Structure 1
Amino acid sequence: MTSEQVIRVRDETELATRAGHLFAGVGAEFVCAANHPDTWSRPNVRASIGGRMRDSLAEGVVIRKLYTPTALADEPGRRHLFEMAAMGAQVRVCDAPLPHETIIIDRRVMILADPVTALERGFTVTTSPALMDGVCALLDAVWESAETLDAYLRRDRPHVDAGQKAILRALAEGLTDETAARRLGVSLRTYRRRVAELLALLESDSRFQAGARAGKLGLTG
């Protein structure tokens, strides 16, 4: 791309073809702001970019990933965030909605994703300093007010002991109460009482809701 160029691509495949090389050329910093990791929903595109990011981390590149709580709403999203943090990326969660899902590479190239629609998602790729400076300033402000992934998960996080985690695993596996009670070595009555206590602790009205809340809070590990 030449200085201050702005190009439009119609979908992820075209983005990977025309701008995929940019991800391999990260020199110092890679910033990603997204509502959900599925910004790169095509498996081959996301896997390719993910591999390049791992290489960049190994080379000392600073990777900052900013997400909204939506990214923690399902297991694949949580797993992606945990994996990136484990690899050394800085991961934060913000409560404010993000108007655009954005990638900024070395503050020299910016990729803005269109809002999600039923059609293919389009992207804008630009090297315009004027456009980039405004978006960078906004993202920097949101980043400073956002919480680290660990801090966000600890917020109002109830304490779940080993026995309660075992119950959560039994619920996740769909075991009957009788089978779960036998596995845990307790009576059926005791098991059901502990399930009721766990639902109250997680402020949940159902076992499914309790499992979903426990997963979102990272309590199932």
Structure 2
Amino acid sequence: MSGARDALVDAGVRILERDGLPALSARKVAVEAGTSTMALYTNFGGMTGLLEAIAVDVFVRFTQALTEIPETADPVADFMAMGLAYHRFALTNPQRYQLIFGTTASLASHRTDLTVTGSATNRDEWATSFEALHKAVHRMMAAGRIRDDDELAVAGRLWSLNHGGVMLEMAGFFGHEGHGLTQIMGPLIIDTLVGMGDDRDAATRSLQKVVAALGSGT
């Protein structure tokens, strides 16, 4: 992107995180970026174009958080580590998360029925994050940790668990002491994977690996 485009996107992201989506307006973004509203319209055609550019920036960061998890010999532990990265991104960047996975009308046209299309979005640069989850599900099935099933449907089910837990935690229903992970999401993921065919002891060991890696900073 050009310097002006970068400055406007960065300004939009700052306002989004500081004041929330309703605070975004052409005038406020222009002032934050130290430019004019004309520059915004010239570069993006209006606020809808800017919101899409911000969403692309957020998806790039979100995808990086999910895909930078190194693969190990334990696909279930890798899936759990990805889930932890997902949780961390959402809780650290709540407004950005709400922008890409909330009900923002201007972005809704890019969403698709993943059970039919195989992707959660029709935008290639946004789709990589879901592909990472799909791959994690494929690896767990290939390793015999969970039973063979419709991979896309299973990915959708697991995403639903994580998204629902994240949304409730962001709303404060699990407090602010990490109870959402330790008392809700961790046990829920174990129960879900066992229901999908994994051995409970094996699933628990996979979770312990992730916790141990987190504690060691690796």
Relative to the length of structure 2, the TM-score reads 0.27
**Higher strand proportion (structure 1 or 2):** 1
**Higher helix proportion (structure 1 or 2):** 2
Higher RCO (CA 8 Å, separation ≥ 6 residues) = 1
